[in-house]
Amino acid sequence: MKRIIDGKTYNTETATKVGAASFDPHNPGDFDWLYQTRHGAFFRHYGGMTNQGDDFEVLKPATPEEAKAWLASHDLVDELEALFGEQPEAGEAESRITVRIPDSLKARIEGLAAANKQSMNAWIMRCLEACADAQTSAR
């Protein structure tokens, strides 16, 4: 299925299916799938049959936060951690740090985070996790 939504193409043929769940456990013909495009955007493809017996299919863009919540709500832990990194264990403390960066770098980070539909904090945290993982793997 291929749709253009807000000037962007969403295509199940070229995207990667990252999760699948039953939309309605009482109707095995219903489906709810999560995809990620080649450029990192998420979307859901879901459908089934209405109460009137009509088939329907929907493509709906999803933010990274919505994709993460969808994966968590369907207990797709391995898929969630493959996309968003290992999740902190319950009760793990969080810390704040202050980093001074040039305004030009801040502007670039803001643009990249917005393009990925993430907050600056989430984008920076993913970058730091990837860097730390790479350093750990190299040892």
Is residue 90 in a domain? no
pLDDT at 96: 85
pLDDT digits (tens, 9 = 90+) for 14-56: 999 999 987 666 776 788 999 999 999 999 999 887 778 788 8
| pTM score | 0.66
Is residue 16 in a domain? yes
Is residue 73 in a domain? no
Alpha carbon 117 to its chain centroid, in Å, reads 9
Is residue 81 in a domain? no
Is residue 115 in a domain? no
Q: Is 23 within 8 Å of 32 (Cβ atoms)?
A: yes
Q: State the Cα torsion 75-53-5-69 to the nearest 10°.
A: -10
Is residue 107 in a domain? no
Is residue 122 in a domain? no
Counted domains in the chain: 1
pLDDT digits (tens, 9 = 90+) for 61-108: 999 989 999 999 999 999 998 888 778 788 878 888 899 999 999 999
Q: What's the domain range around 20? A: 1-63
